[in-house]
Copies of this chain bind each other. A is one copy, B any other.
Amino acid sequence: MHILVHMVETREHALTSEQLATFIHTNPVVVRRTIAGLRDAGIVTSSRGHGGGWQLGRAPESISLAEISAALGETLLPFSSEPESPGCLVEQAVIAALDDFRVEAERLLAEKLSHITLADLAADFRRRYELIGVTSHAV
């Protein structure tokens, strides 16, 4: 997300993996590896060679957090349910009951995330940025 908002703020030109890596204090290769999913989903585009790098693939208003999360292959909940004792009826019942919860919870979270767009986050940044600016002038 951090990287993506930076891209919104720099829409005119591409940012290299190296620059993006600096933002989040990591390695260019880690960045490429991580956001490869975003590229495959069309959320960002990459170009090689001189002047190349990464840019948003489309308007930030059309990019929801739900889509980003899915493109990155993130899970929305920190647990899954794989049987450890296949055949144990207790376990089967537990898994079934928790799966009902899991499915609904994931639907709920995805719904919420689909209403937040990259543009919203960028606007939030703008707002803060101008607020700080005013404060700085006042002080």
Contact = CB atoms under 8 A, between A and B. Distances in A.
A5 interface: yes
The oligomer's copy count stands at 2
Contact of A78 (B24, B78, B125, B132): B78
Given A2-B88, A25-B84, A89-B129, A112 B104 contact: yes
A35 to B, nearest CB: 15
A94 B132 contact: no
24 contacts: A1-B94, A2-B85, A2-B88, A2-B90, A2-B91, A2-B94, A5-B90, A5-B94, A6-B90, A23-B88, A24-B84, A25-B84, A74-B78, A89-B129, A92-B128, A93-B124, A93-B125, A93-B127, A94-B121, A97-B121, A101-B113, A101-B116, A104-B112, A108-B108
Interface of A: 1-2, 5-6, 9, 23-25, 65, 74-79, 84-85, 88-94, 96-98, 101, 104-105, 108-109, 112-113, 116, 120-121, 124-125, 127-129, 132
